Structure 1
Amino acid sequence: MTASDRSAVSSTADTRPRTVVLHQFVGIGDLVWHVPYFRAVAQQSHGGQVAVIASPTTFARDLLSGEACVSEVIDFDRRPRKAERRTGRHAGLAGIFRMGSELRPRRFERIVIFSDHANRGLMAWWAGIPERLGYGCSALQRAFLTRGPTIQPYQGPSVSVYKNASAFAVAQGFVAAPVVPKLTLPAGAVESIASRWADLPRPLFAFSIGSSEPFKQWGAVNFGQLADELARRGAGVILLGGPGEAALAQAIVQQVDVCRRAAVRIAVDNTVLQSAATLAQVDACIGNDTGMTNLAAALDRPSLVLLGPRPLLDHDPLMQLLIAPSLSAITPAEVMQRLPVHLLAKLAQR
């Protein structure tokens, strides 16, 4: 029997359902929180893999490229970034039916919907997927689902996205208890960018300077003063953001003493995968409440989140939250005091 024959027999013998999972949200952090549950669903799916439906704004195709459990990423283009100034291909009710029609030829046998939106169930029904699982928080969504158990939406002080995903995964028997999100990068991703930061001093900190909204932005002065203090103590700093943060990054550098600026590097031209690989090389991440601070923790790096008065992020012990009535009330000195003990010890030796 040839290798292809054995593969065909093995595929035929695998009676687990061909499964697609639907991720509802549009942010990188939201995607990261769901990764352990994608893996868990995949373990109970055909070939040990799932297809993932996700918004292009999550960069799922890049970030999940190292996850062996993901067979493919299918774009759910419902809410593009504001800067794109266009309507998503799958926006509105017509878009839901369009997405369902696009899924139909793929002949999935099961869909696991990480969402409480009724129209996601409608989409799965229109796609002809026979087994449809979802949160079922409303009677309308339950009308499109084929079986429970369903969950009650989380009501509490923390961000609800991870809480609801965890409750759903537990209720459906995919996991026994909530799982701390971790991400696997593709082989070679870290090594491919390592030389770019090799000359920076250690310990090395990434500042996640981007923000999706102005009220999440700590500001150039604060980041600049913190970068200057870290550089003064012999550390290196990478200012991590997108092209939209180029001016902000320059303003931060201007806050750093000229004699110490060589220790501060701007990185606003990376791909998302390169930014993730950069996070995997630093000793800690400090930043606004963004996908990057969540991604850092998922890559096993201590992450200090400048949270202010926002809902708690308590899903990973590597995430340290700086809470205050406003972001402006959080000082660079306070951030220094909250650095991981082992990194403070290294800085104290300088």
Structure 2
Amino acid sequence: MRKGGTLIIQPFPGIGDMIWYLPYLKAIAREEGPITLLTKPRSLAREFLLADPAFRDVLYADRRLLSMIIPELIRRRFQKSWILHWSVSYASLPFFARVPERVGFGYGRQKYFLTSQKNLPEPSRTAHPITQLEMVMELAGYSIKKEDQIPPLCPKAHKKIIEKFSHFPKPWIYS
């Protein structure tokens, strides 16, 4: 496994949340190379996202056991992290793991754990999480492209779809 790279912390628990965040995760990966995602086990992100080349790895951590992931983060020597959540607890993980560049929303005490000086304005704290994501991406100068919005499909599933539906005329919805 190559050391370094980018860690993204997205702790919302469901696969639906992961779908919402997918374009932003892929946009970051397009700019910074394959990412490692830290999320909750309930998201099923490992099973869903590792077919996509934008993802190097998916790590799972339950909020009650966050401190137990720090040695693994140290071992991987990430160079940059994105905390896509307003929590101080999640922002402290890359801080204690000695990740040199740390980007996040920067609300309240979270800003003390970040290296980025481009924090979201305090009034945006009540905005929808997707609005907050759009704002932090804009501050970083990143944009969403059409291809970022396409969910990954593992090669085995793609092959089954082709075999089962190849006799039907295209265009197919999934493309």
Please say if 1:73 is aligned against 2:73.
no
Q: Secondary structure at the match of 2:82?
A: strand
Corresponding residue of 2:168: none
> Deviations along 1:202-227, whole A, 9 cap, x unmatched?
xxxxxxxxxxxxxxxxxxxxxxxxxx
Contact 2:24 2:144 in 1 (8 A): no
Q: How many residues get paired?
A: 165
Q: Which one has more relative contact order, counting CA pairs under 8 Å at least 6 apart? A: 2
Q: Which residue of the other structure, out of 11, 14, 18, is the alignment partner of 1:31? A: 18
Contact 1:30 1:161 in 2 (8 A): no
**Hey, what's the Cα distance between the residues in 2 that align with 1:44 and 1:136?**
21
Q: Which residue of the other structure, out of 29, 36, 43, is the alignment partner of 2:30? A: 43
**Hey, what's the Cα distance between the residues in 1 that align with 2:103 and 2:146?**
18
Provide the aligned C-alpha RMSD in A.
2.8
Q: Which residue of the other structure, out of 137, 143, 151, is the alignment partner of 1:183? A: 151
TM-score by length of 1: 0.42
Change beyond 3 A, Cα 1:142–1:149: same
Corresponding residue of 2:78: 108
Q: Secondary structure at the match of 1:162?
A: helix
Q: Secondary structure at the match of 1:166?
A: helix
**Hey, what's the Cα distance between the residues in 1 that align with 2:146 and 2:131?**
8
Change beyond 3 A, Cα 1:181–1:29: farther
Q: CA deviation at 1:44?
A: 2.8
Change beyond 3 A, Cα 1:98–1:71: same
Q: CA deviation at 1:193?
A: 6.3
**Hey, what's the Cα distance between the residues in 2 that align with 1:142 and 1:179?**
32
Contact 1:33 1:181 in 2 (8 A): no
Please say if 1:146 is aligned against 2:99.
no
Please say if 1:136 is aligned against 2:79.
no
TM-score by length of 2: 0.80
Contact 1:76 1:99 in 2 (8 A): yes
> Deviations along 1:128-187, whole A, 9 cap, x unmatched?
11111101122x10010011311143646xxx2222222211111122799973312112
Corresponding residue of 1:60: 45
> Deviations along 1:229-271, whole A, 9 cap, x unmatched?
xxxxxxxxxxxxxxxxxxxxxxxxxxxxxxxxxxxxxxxxxxx
Q: Runs of 4+ in structure 1 displaced over 6 angstroms?
A: 176-180, 193-196
Q: Aligned AA for 1:24? A: P
Identity of aligned residues (%): 24
Contact 1:34 1:181 in 2 (8 A): no
Which structure dedicates a bigger proportion of its chain to helix? Answer: 2
Alignment of structure 1 residues 276-315 onto 2, 5 Å: none
**Hey, what's the Cα distance between the residues in 1 that align with 2:81 and 2:37?**
10
**Hey, what's the Cα distance between the residues in 2 that align with 1:29 and 1:53?**
16
Corresponding residue of 1:165: 133
Q: Which has the larger radius of gyration?
A: 1
Change beyond 3 A, Cα 1:177–1:154: farther
Q: Aligned AA for 1:52? A: L
Corresponding residue of 1:22: 9
**Hey, what's the Cα distance between the residues in 2 that align with 1:193 and 1:178?**
22
- Segments of structure 1 that go 5 or more residues without pairing to the other structure are 1-10, 12-16, 79-90, 199-280, 284-298, 301-350
Change beyond 3 A, Cα 1:181–1:136: same
Change beyond 3 A, Cα 1:51–1:176: closer
Q: Which residue of the other structure, out of 95, 111, 114, is the alignment partner of 1:125? A: 95
**Hey, what's the Cα distance between the residues in 1 that align with 2:5 and 2:158?**
32
Corresponding residue of 1:87: none
